[in-house]
């Protein structure tokens, strides 16, 4: 089985690549190393079945070449992270819309199966008690940079669905909710490595807003197997599946958990959103998944406790601060 992983040097992508190699696949990674890191693939760098190609999904000819002859494509390459999207919305729009279109076209031409990795961000400000895949999307103005990510990913999903309908593309969509684990970096906004890094350095933990906003964090070790199961299930074609954690936690509670897990003496400070992300920034108060569709389709059961996820991130940050290519701890 030949699998392509766009964004395979990223946080989730690198865990997926390891799993595919362990299952005996030939794996080709296409990554532009904008946010991905070569070091994320260190554990598998010497595997003969792995090929890493440095290039962008915006390079249509390259995407065609890479996808040609593949059995399946896991499309994870994207501009991600609230910090990055707010700072460079145009890059995000181009990569996330035109890049995905290139991947969809290449899959139609080659006949490869596709897993499109979308995001829970598409639900926007819908605070429903359990967001179902058919729940409404409540987005702010497209002129507010934060919403450009949800807008672009929503278009990606609509494109994928139309390609399935009109060209018979064999595509399934995953919507991960705040996936966390080793190799995730806080540089682009992600809260868990950010808070854990601050706790390890003994700095104040920066909780944005009032800290009462909630999320349902999930382990990359629960999410990645669900992704491979989804692409392998013919009955999932043409549909989208939430992949989120079970436990709803406020960011203030999360900060305390980061302090407790690391044994840090850090304090917690509340930082206004305008200070963190500039004027006009809007956050989601709550984001809680209904995972029942993925549970029924592929047995998705996010069992890893958040304590274990936070401990994994802390171990990873400690380890990486001592290697040749240190992360900013
Ligand atoms: N957040 C925070 N401190 C940080 C980074 C993020 O309080 O250093 C908050 C952020 O405002 C949001 C939550 O944590 O309410 C999750 O943020 P993240 O960017 O990880 O994911 P998303 O907002 O996409 O769920």
Residue 185 in tokens: 């970096």
Angle, helices 191-201 vs 251-262, to 10°: value is 40
**What are the residue ranges spanned by the domains of the chain?**
2-180+219-243
The pTM score is 0.96
Predicted confidence at residue 189, as pLDDT, reads 86
Q: Which atom of ligand 1 is nearest to the CA of 83?
A: 19
176-189: pLDDT as tens digits: 999 999 999 988 88
Q: How many whole angstroms from 127 Cα to the centroid of ligand 1?
A: 16
Q: Pick the atom of ligand 1 nearest to 198's CA.
A: 8
Check residue 170 and give its pLDDT.
98
- Ligand 1 pocket: which of 12, 208, 284 to mutate (most atoms within 8 A of CB): 208
Q: Does domain 2-180+219-243 have CATH number 3.40.50.720?
A: yes
Nearest ligand 1 atom to the CA of 121 is 24
Question: Residue 320 Cα, ligand 1 centroid: separation in angstroms?
Answer: 22
Low-confidence residues of the chain: pLDDT under 70: 322-329
For residue 59, what pLDDT is reported? 98
Atom 18 (ligand 1) nearest CA: 190
- Please give the pLDDT value at position 323: 59
d(CA 310, CA 281): 27
Among 189, 194, 256, 289, which residue has the most ligand 1 atoms within 8 Å of its CB, making it the best to mutate? 189
Task: Read off the pLDDT of residues 246-255 as tens digits, 9 standing for 90 and up.
Answer: 999 999 999 9
For 274, counting Cβ atoms within 10 Å of its Cβ (0-12 exposed, 13-18 middle, 19+ buried), the class is exposed
Q: Is 149 a catalytic residue?
A: yes
| Pair 138, 154: CB distance under 8 Å | no
Place of tokens 């003994």: 202
For ligand 1, the distance from its centroid to the CA atom of residue 7, given in whole angstroms, is 22
Nearest CA to ligand 1 atom 1: 191
Instruction: Tell me, in angstroms, the distance from the centre of ligand 1 to residue 284's CA.
Output: 9
DSSP state for residue 283 in the 8-state scheme: -
Q: Classify strands 268-271 and 205-208 as parallel, antiparallel or unpaired.
A: parallel
The residue whose CA has the least distance to atom 21 of ligand 1 is 190
Cα of 138 to ligand 1 centre, how many Å?
18
Length of the chain: 329
The residues lining ligand 1, judged by C-beta closer than 6 Å to any ligand atom, are 82, 121, 178, 189-191, 194, 206-208, 213, 215, 251, 283
**Nearest-angstrom CA–CA distance, 80 and 83:** 8
> For residue 318, what pLDDT is reported?
96
Distance separating alpha carbons of residues 76 and 6, to the nearest angstrom: 5
pLDDT at 280: 85
Pairing of β 179-180 and β 218-219: parallel
Cα of 83 to ligand 1 centre, how many Å?
9
């Amino acid at each position: 089985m030949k699998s392509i992983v766009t964004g395979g040097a990223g946080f989730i992508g690198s865990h997926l690549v390891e799993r595919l190699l362990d299952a005996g696949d030939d794996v080709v990674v296409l990554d532009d190393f904008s946010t991905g890191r070569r070091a994320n693939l260190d554990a598998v760098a010497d595997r003969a079945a792995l090929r890493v190609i440095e290039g962008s999904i915006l390079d249509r000819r390259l995407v065609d070449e890479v996808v040609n002859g593949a059995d399946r494509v896991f499309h994870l390459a994207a501009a991600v992270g609230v910090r990055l999207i707010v700072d460079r919305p145009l890059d995000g729009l181009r990569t996330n819309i035109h890049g995905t279109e290139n991947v969809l076209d290449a899959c139609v031409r080659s006949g490869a199966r596709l897993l499109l990795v979308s995001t829970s961000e598409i639900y926007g400000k819908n605070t429903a008690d359990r967001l179902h895949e058919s729940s409404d999307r409540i987005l702010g103005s497209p002129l507010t940079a934060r919403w450009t990510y949800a807008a672009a990913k929503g278009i990606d999903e609509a494109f994928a669905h139309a390609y399935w309908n009109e060209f018979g593309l064999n595509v399934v969509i995953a919507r991960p909710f705040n996936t966390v684990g080793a190799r995730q970096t806080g540089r682009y906004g992600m809260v868990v490595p950010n808070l854990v890094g601050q706790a390890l350095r003994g700095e104040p933990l920066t909780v944005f807003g009032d800290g009462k906003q909630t999320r349902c964090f999930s382990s990359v070790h629960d999410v990645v197997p669900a992704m491979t199961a989804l692409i392998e299930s013919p009955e999932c074609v043409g549909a989208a599946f939430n992949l989120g954690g079970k436990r709803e936690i406020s960011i203030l509670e999360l900060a305390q958990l980061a302090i407790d897990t690391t044994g840090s003496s850090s304090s917690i400070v509340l930082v206004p959103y305008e200070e963190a992300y500039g004027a006009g920034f809007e956050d989601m108060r709550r984001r809680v998944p209904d995972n029942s569709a993925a549970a029924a389709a592929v047995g998705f059961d996010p069992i890893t406790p958040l304590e274990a996820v936070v401990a994994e991130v802390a171990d990873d940050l400690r380890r990486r601060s001592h290697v040749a290519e240190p992360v900013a701890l």
